[in-house]
Chains A and B, each alone.
Chain A
Amino acid sequence: MSLSNFQEDTRVLENKNYKGDYFCITFHAPTISPSVTPGQFVHLRLPNSPDLLLRRPFSIYDVDTELSTLSLIYKVIGKGSKALSQVSAGTTVNLLGPLGNGFPPANKEKLIIIVAGGYGCASTFLVAKTAVNPGCCILGARTRDDILVENEFKQTGFEVNITTNDGSYGHKGIVTDVLQQKLNGLPYNQSASIYACGPDAMLKAVGRLALKHHAESYLSFDMPMCCGVGACFTCVIKIKADSRDGWEYVRTCYNGPVFEANDVFFE
């Protein structure tokens, strides 16, 4: 039997403080990196943390196929991410991946609109990097200090729009303010494909707006996970189904993390 997912001992090349509590870590991962598609994730075993039994899932931010590297962006929030921030270059880190069903390839006829809340920019960056025709992206965060990889998005040729809740940078407000304008401003013969990642409330708002405008939209959900491969049923979200309640719990690691907005059961 051949094995289709990979478990690889990778080497940390760099683990740098990006800004504030945000870090960017890069691994030499010759087995995993060549088959990564946008929106997929790796499941990381923390080295030197025997008390933390569970792996941590991270969206793959970037890959370099020539150097066989992959990078993640993460925020130091709890014990695990703190331990990760202290891992030095040269350390061996075991990864499972690439896991999950990422974003589908963009239809060349459609305008790609990327909507990213906070570190949701990490899972959507490869969409921009691999797009045939650059579209636009909307990066939203609470404040200026939480806006990440703006220049990297610009270098892909995408138009970059910034929103912050406190107005410290870009449009004061939320990403759906700008998304609404973009969708309203589309020529009658142009349709859009929306690729979004961020907090649940943002995804819900983006999905609703997309459905209202008959735009296809793909939402990437960030749920806590244990196994990362579909075995434990930790990371479920409600998806429309032909059941008594009209929904069923579906595993984001196995069937997602990307779902079409139309399939998601929003309460």
Chain B
Amino acid sequence: MSKPDLSVQLCDRKLRNPVVTASGTFGYGKEYSGLVRFEQLGGITVKGVSPFPSHGNNTPRTSEVDFGMINSIGLQNPGIDKFIAHPDYLPFLRTLDTAVYVNIWGKTMEDYAEVASRLQAEREGIAGLEINISCPNIKEGGMSFGTSLELAGKVVNAVRQATDIPLITKLSPNVNNIADFARCVVDNGSDMVSLINTFPSMAIDIYTRKPKIAANFGGLSGPGIKPISIKMIYEVSQAVDVPIIGMGGIFSAADAIEFLLAGATAVAVGTAIFSDPQTPIKVIQGIADYLNDYDIKDINDIIGGVEIN
């Protein structure tokens, strides 16, 4: 039996398969270089980079909950200068045989544009920028941009003016109608969308009566959020005609296939990597097996293939 074609097209970049890592769960790549074979991955998305170095939030920053976890890391990062110059970051990422997406964020509109323009000047080895307008864990910027149609449009437009690198906008699920946000960011120049980010959540230690996270609230991820992700991806796929990178609770190939059927062109594995760093590789293998079982030659034949009742 011939191997099915797993490659997908994300703007000008052809990925060898549709599986990438989700921002914030794969560090800056180097951290997993001792455990994961990058040359087998469709791509990786690195942790959010801002114009300035950021300490992030106080500890504890994460808490396990049943079938999930809550995080409030607060986008700790070395800042764009160090990201560009230090051998552990962009210079390392350029050596990898996989597509590299750089997640960017800021406290102001100008911050987003600044990171984008700095990366425009250093674009070698960068397949795309993921604009993070959906992080629930920072006081300024982040989700406040992603839950207002006006601000979301403006920030994407500002980044678009600063770069011609392909843009992905990472959408927040914490809105009334996510399809409206997808349309808005695409109208303002986003080439793709990724969804969903995490859900604001809370866990309390009943013995100390303290929240389990220093920042009190964090973002919920894990398999429990998957059905919500699937619905939102379906809705967005009906609203816009750009590639969608689907994420939110993918732990297996079956999960990933559900995302593809709902309309995602690619999928991102996040929290599951903490459980098993080989999850993305296992997902790729499992998708290939599924296509073989159903004698499907090309993965694109299942994208958006859900048959609605």
Q: Which residues of A line the B interface, CB within 8 A?
A: 1, 3-5, 7, 45, 50-55, 80, 94, 96, 223-224, 226-227, 229-237, 243, 245, 248-249, 254
> Is B274 touching A1 in the complex (CB atoms < 8 A)?
no
Known contacts A53-B68, A234-B62, A236-B56; is A249 also within 8 Å of B76 by CB?
yes
Cross-interface CB contact of A1 among B27, B38, B64, B223, cutoff 8 Å? B38
B223 to chain A, nearest CB (A): 8
B42 to chain A, nearest CB (A): 17
Known contacts A5-B34, A7-B35, A53-B222; is A45 also within 8 Å of B59 by CB?
no
Q: In the complex, what distance in Å separates the CA atom of A193 from the CA atom of B200?
A: 46
> Is B276 touching A232 in the complex (CB atoms < 8 A)?
no
Q: In the complex, what distance in Å separates the CA atom of A128 from the CA atom of B140?
A: 49
> Is A227 touching B276 in the complex (CB atoms < 8 A)?
no
> Is B39 touching A229 in the complex (CB atoms < 8 A)?
no
Q: What would be 21 A-B contacts, judged by CB atoms less than 8 Å apart? A: A1-B39, A4-B34, A5-B34, A52-B64, A53-B67, A54-B274, A55-B274, A224-B60, A226-B69, A227-B25, A227-B27, A227-B31, A229-B27, A229-B32, A230-B30, A230-B31, A231-B26, A234-B71, A236-B59, A249-B55, A254-B31
Q: In the complex, what distance in Å separates the CA atom of A4 from the CA atom of B222?
A: 28
Q: Is the interface of A mostly helix, strand, loop or mixed?
A: loop
B14 at the interface (CB under 8 A from A): no
Which A residues touch B34, using CB under 8 A?
Answer: 3-5, 229
Interface size on B, residues (CB 8 A): 40
Which A residues touch B25, using CB under 8 A?
Answer: 227, 231-232
Which B residues touch A55, using CB under 8 A?
Answer: 274-275
> Is B53 touching A243 in the complex (CB atoms < 8 A)?
yes
Which B residues touch A245, using CB under 8 A?
Answer: 55
B26 to chain A, nearest CB (A): 5
Which A residues touch B286, using CB under 8 A?
Answer: none
Which B residues touch A7, using CB under 8 A?
Answer: 35, 277-278
> Is B64 touching A233 in the complex (CB atoms < 8 A)?
no
Which B residues touch A254, using CB under 8 A?
Answer: 31
Known contacts A1-B37, A234-B62; is A229 also within 8 Å of B68 by CB?
no
A202 to chain B, nearest CB (A): 18
Specify which of A50, A55, A233 lies most central, judged by the most chain B CB atoms within 10 Å of its CB: A233
Known contacts A52-B64, A53-B222, A236-B76; is A227 also within 8 Å of B274 by CB?
yes
Name A7's closest neighbour in chain B (CB-CB): B35
Known contacts A4-B34, A227-B31, A232-B71; is A96 also within 8 Å of B76 by CB?
no
Name B222's closest neighbour in chain A (CB-CB): A53
Which B residues touch A3, using CB under 8 A?
Answer: 34-37
Which A residues touch B271, using CB under 8 A?
Answer: 53
Name B27's closest neighbour in chain A (CB-CB): A231
Known contacts A53-B68, A53-B222, A249-B56; is A233 also within 8 Å of B76 by CB?
yes
> Is B59 touching A223 in the complex (CB atoms < 8 A)?
yes
B136 to chain A, nearest CB (A): 16
Name A54's closest neighbour in chain B (CB-CB): B64
B61 at the interface (CB under 8 A from A): yes
Which A residues touch B68, using CB under 8 A?
Answer: 53
Known contacts A1-B39, A53-B271; is A233 also within 8 Å of B61 by CB?
yes
Cross-interface CB contact of B275 among A45, A223, A236, cutoff 8 Å? A45
B309 at the interface (CB under 8 A from A): no
Which A residues touch B55, using CB under 8 A?
Answer: 245, 248-249
Q: In the complex, what distance in Å separates the CA atom of A116 from the CA atom of B234?
A: 55
Taking A1-B37, A230-B31, A234-B73 as known contacts, 9 extra A-B pairs with beta carbons closer than 8 A to each other, sorted by chain A number, are A3-B34, A3-B36, A53-B223, A54-B64, A54-B274, A54-B275, A94-B276, A243-B53, A248-B53
Name B29's closest neighbour in chain A (CB-CB): A231
Which B residues touch A237, using CB under 8 A?
Answer: 59
Specify which of A55, A227, A235, A254 lies most central, judged by the most chain B CB atoms within 10 Å of its CB: A227
> Is A232 touching B32 in the complex (CB atoms < 8 A)?
no
B260 to chain A, nearest CB (A): 23
Name A226's closest neighbour in chain B (CB-CB): B274
